[in-house]
Amino acid sequence: MTATAQWRPARLVSVENASSDMICLLVEPETTVPHRAGQHYEIRFPGDELGRKYSIVSPPGERAPLEFGVQILAKGLVSPRLACSLPGTPIELRGPLGEAFTWSPDAGPSLILIGGGAGITPLLSIYAAFIHAYPRGTCRFLLSAKRPDLVYHLDRYERILITRYTGTAPRLTAADLA
């Protein structure tokens, strides 16, 4: 069994509100496994069979703790428990996982990121990796959200986002992309 397929111990360093429906989890794994921009981990509580997949916000190569953006689902079985957890709470990680939605510096010095809602989290890792590889590169980061209070750490990322708030309207349109 590979290191990414095994459950490994970790602990929560902090849990903070990142938007009206998301939290920012900082997690200290007992052992770290390098990840690629855009990958995710599965997180569960020790003794539980049920785990959920959460995208890594941290860029590749950043030392622990790892940052995860977690959308709190009212009827969720893991996210509400994570939101109420205290620093030091033991958890388990499996990953990093996912190869289809990753970015590599080989892609070159221009990038367009398009996402919506909680889908911003893997894009933040990709953005950080891009800026590290290409400080003078060209990146456009389009985000669609219903309201500003639903954007993950808007105060932290507002300067890099081209944001369309849709309310109940359609997400991004062809005119938005132009």
What is the predicted pLDDT for the residue at 113? 94
d(CA 157, CA 172): 19
What is the predicted pLDDT for the residue at 166? 84
E-assigned strands of the chain?
8-17, 22-29, 40-44, 52-55, 66-71, 90-97, 110-116, 138-145, 162-165
What is the predicted pLDDT for the residue at 172? 67
What is the predicted pLDDT for the residue at 100? 79
d(CA 140, CA 39): 20
Question: In this structure, what token pair is assigned to residue 121?
Answer: 């989290």
Q: What is the pLDDT of residues 67-111, one digit of tens each?
A: 999 999 999 999 999 999 999 999 999 999 998 789 999 999 999
CA contacts within 13 A on the Cβ side of 176? 16
pTM: 0.91
Question: In this structure, what token pair is assigned to residue 104?
Answer: 């590599």
What is the predicted pLDDT for the residue at 62? 85
What is the predicted pLDDT for the residue at 14? 98
Specify the 3-state DSSP secondary structure of 3: helix
Positions in the chain whose pLDDT score sits under 50: none
